[in-house]
Amino acid sequence: MYPILFRIGNTAVRTYTVLVDLGLLAGLALAYWLWHRRGQPLTVLLDAATCALIGGILGGRGAFVAMNWPYFSQVPKEIFAVWNGGVSFHGALVGGLLAVLLYTLAVSRPFWDLADAAALGLTLGALFSWFACLAAGCAYGAIGEGVLSIYAPDVFGSQAERFATQIVGIILSLITLGLLLLLVMLRKRAGVVFSAFLLLYFGGQFFLEFFRGDETIWLGPLRIAQVFDAGLALAGLALLLIVRRRPLPVPEEGENAEDEGAKEVEATITDEPAPTPADAAAATLAEEPASPLVGVEKAGVDQPESDSFLQR
């Protein structure tokens, strides 16, 4: 609806680009918040984000080229022209996750903590992206009238009564983000937030795709994006069942597992053991007053030793 935010001379600054860039920054900030909450260093997050960016570009572009191979087979020189547009979100997600997984294996870092932080960042980034699509007219809905319909343009500028896919996408993103933050506050096991993200977000996108009006590739009755959405949602459900069986909970804020173990050991060492019956009896005898006879006997024994010493 507002494709151009403002102009600098003859250069148009597009609303879509500004909102997507803001979403990336906001998502990274939210990911850092969770990463810092779990007591992890910032440098690791930045390194992982760099790996995710490289893997996301490769995976997203590769998936887009594969889905449009009839075109790219005729112009192979445009396969690597990412600056012209054409990146699959699903491919970027899978490629970025694989890159982060390889990074964590190489440097022995917790993958699930990184995945949870990425889930929050991706959800917030998706929220900004839906606002960007609302402004630019992309991801528009199918033509039709109803309660959830709005008079809006498509990406080509054609105005019509359409299903409000962008607004519904914003609502679904907000609900997903709220539920993920709730899981963070409840301090669930590492990996639960990421698994719930896959299940909630892509499960919602699967049903939202039925009301999209933009062109795409179809596989039978389903759009190609729906196939990927269903696969990622099912993967999230499977991962959720797996990570819930993990024995170790997420550490408290600013703590790690080693700190918890050290505290338990320290508490065990400082605790005084319970007195035994023998200790109690010895304490009772020590509190009883000494008998006068005992003092005399001690004096009789010690005195000759003193005298003999003086005589020598």
- The answer as to whether 108 is a domain residue is yes
pLDDT at residue 258 is higher than 60: no
Q: DSSP E strands: which ranges in 185-282?
A: 218-219, 222-223
pLDDT at residue 283 is higher than 60: no
Of 21-25, 190-194, 229-233, 277-281, minimum mean pLDDT range: 277-281
Whole-number pLDDT of residue 309: 37
Cβ(129)–Cβ(172) under 8 Å? no
Whole-number pLDDT of residue 272: 47
- The answer as to whether 82 is a domain residue is yes
Are residues 15 and 163 located together in one domain of the fold? yes
d(CA 142, CA 264): 60
Percent of the chain with pLDDT over 70: 77
- The answer as to whether 271 is a domain residue is no
**Average pLDDT, integer, range 227-249:** 87
Whole-number pLDDT of residue 275: 55
pLDDT at residue 288 is higher than 70: no
141 forms bridges with which residues in the sheet? 212
Are residues 176 and 239 located together in one domain of the fold? yes
**Average pLDDT, integer, range 266-282:** 48
Q: How many domains does the chain have?
A: 2
218 forms bridges with which residues in the sheet? 223
How many CB atoms sit inside 10 A of residue 222's CB?
A: 16
Could you give the C-alpha distances from 117 to 263, 268, 283, in angstroms and in order? Answer: 27, 34, 58
Are residues 127 and 217 located together in one domain of the fold? yes
pLDDT at residue 209 is higher than 90: yes
Are residues 193 and 287 located together in one domain of the fold? no
- The answer as to whether 273 is a domain residue is no
39 — alpha (psi -120 to 50), left (phi > 0) or beta? left
Angle, CA 123 vertex, CA 163 and CA 165 arms, to 5°: 5
**Average pLDDT, integer, range 169-184:** 96
Are residues 98 and 206 located together in one domain of the fold? yes
Whole-number pLDDT of residue 186: 93
Cβ(160)–Cβ(144) under 8 Å? no
Are residues 197 and 304 located together in one domain of the fold? no
- The answer as to whether 29 is a domain residue is yes
d(CA 26, CA 193): 18
Are residues 256 and 293 located together in one domain of the fold? no
**Average pLDDT, integer, range 183-188:** 91
Whole-number pLDDT of residue 157: 83
Helix (H, G, I), strand (E, B) or coil at 73: coil
Residue 279 pLDDT grade (very low, low, confident, very high; cuts 50, 70, 90): low
Whole-number pLDDT of residue 49: 92
Cβ(150)–Cβ(226) under 8 Å? no
Tokens of 198: 């896959």
Per 3-state DSSP, what percentage of the chain is helix, strand, and coil (rounded to 5)? 65, 10, 25
- The answer as to whether 272 is a domain residue is no
Are residues 15 and 68 located together in one domain of the fold? yes
Q: What is the pTM of this model?
A: 0.75
Are residues 78 and 16 located together in one domain of the fold? yes
- The answer as to whether 274 is a domain residue is no
Q: Which of 172, 188, 174 is nearest to 37 (CA)?
A: 188
Angle, CA 214 vertex, CA 213 and CA 218 arms, to 5°: 95
**Average pLDDT, integer, range 242-249:** 71
d(CA 21, CA 236): 27
Q: Which residues are CB-contacts of 176 (< 8 A; sequence separation ≥ 6)?
A: 123, 197, 200, 201, 204
Mean pLDDT of the chain: 82
Could you give the C-alpha distances from 194 to 33, 42, 105, in angstroms and in order? Answer: 15, 19, 18
Per residue in 108-166, pLDDT tens? 888 999 999 999 999 999 999 999 999 988 899 999 988 889 998 888 888 999 999 99
CA 161 distance to own-chain centroid: 38
Are residues 213 and 306 located together in one domain of the fold? no
**Average pLDDT, integer, range 241-266:** 54
pLDDT at residue 302 is higher than 50: no
Are residues 287 and 193 located together in one domain of the fold? no
Cβ(228)–Cβ(95) under 8 Å? no
Whole-number pLDDT of residue 127: 96
In total, the chain counts a number of residues equal to: 312
3-class secondary structure per residue, 18-68? HHHHHHHHHHHHHHHHHHHHCCCCHHHHHHHHHHHHHHHHHHHHHHHHHHC
Of 66-70, 76-80, 244-248, minimum mean pLDDT range: 244-248
Are residues 90 and 53 located together in one domain of the fold? yes
**Residue range of the domain that includes 121:** 4-265
- The answer as to whether 47 is a domain residue is yes
Q: Which of 147, 41, 57 is nearest to 93 (CA)?
A: 57
pLDDT at residue 271 is higher than 90: no
Whole-number pLDDT of residue 68: 84
Tokens of 75: 């112009």
d(CA 262, CA 269): 11
pLDDT at residue 105 is higher than 50: yes
